[in-house]
A = this chain, B = another copy of it.
Amino acid sequence: MLRVQNSPRRRYREQVIGEIKQAALAQIDAGGPGALSLNAVAKTLGVSGPALYKYFRNRDELLTVLLLDAYDDVAGAVRETLEATADEPARHRLWALAAAFLGWAAAQPHRFALIAGTPLPGYEAPPESVGKARAVLGPFLTVLAQGRPAPVAGSLTGQLGEWAATTPAVADWVRTWAPDGDPALLLTTVLSVWSRLHGVVSLTVHGQFTGMGFDPAALLRAEMDAVADRLGLD
């Protein structure tokens, strides 16, 4: 009877970890990732500061867990949107995916800041975050493949084709989401989507568009329209 994974003690530990994460997120919500204080989290839970080190090796590990959770969360939102729009024209799906991302980020700007590569002193995102970012962008590949991706002038498409040819994980990723697509062309386009998405979302949640009288969702839609036009998406 192997009970290692299911005991009162195990359940207690999971519960406490959940409470720690919750309290930590509330703090990050109020002041950004840099405002995370293990002491303040501990006070919220009614334990001493050092008690938290029984659950997380250090502050960075807690940040890492929160970051990976955030990725999973937004990836889930995007994937659900892909599924929910299965019957819609590709252009609409692209809008919806982008809107889902923007909506997620606007609802939790500081979680977005966690995944956006925001510099934190001494902190470095873990290697796994690369795979998580691909999970977020995967659904976009599916939609982009419904158009006719084209190369761009310059060296970019060639460089990306090289990358796909020499990195099996990347080729697999593209194949998973767009089985019949050309990796170099799809990477070229998804990179464009990613940087535009990131640009609009980042400027939005960091308040840089404040006072400018326009709706960031309208800008994002226009940017996705420009992508769709290039692809010949209906």
Contact = CB atoms under 8 A, between A and B. Distances in A.
Contact of A34 (B120, B197, B230): B120
B198 A202 contact: yes
Interface in A182-223: 188, 191-192, 194-200, 202-203, 206-208, 211-215, 218-219, 221-223
Contacts of A208: 117, 133
A33 interface: yes
Given A213-B159, A222-B154, A230-B226, A119 B206 contact: yes
Contacts of A130: 211
B219 A195 contact: yes
B159 A218 contact: yes
A193 to B, nearest CB: 10
A32 interface: yes
Contacts of A156: 214-215, 218-219, 221-222
A211 B207 CA distance: 30
A117 B163 contact: no
A65 interface: no
Given A119-B32, A119-B118, A121-B34, A155 B218 contact: yes
A172 to B, nearest CB: 15
11 contacts: A31-B119, A31-B121, A31-B122, A32-B120, A35-B122, A113-B118, A119-B206, A154-B225, A156-B214, A195-B219, A199-B199
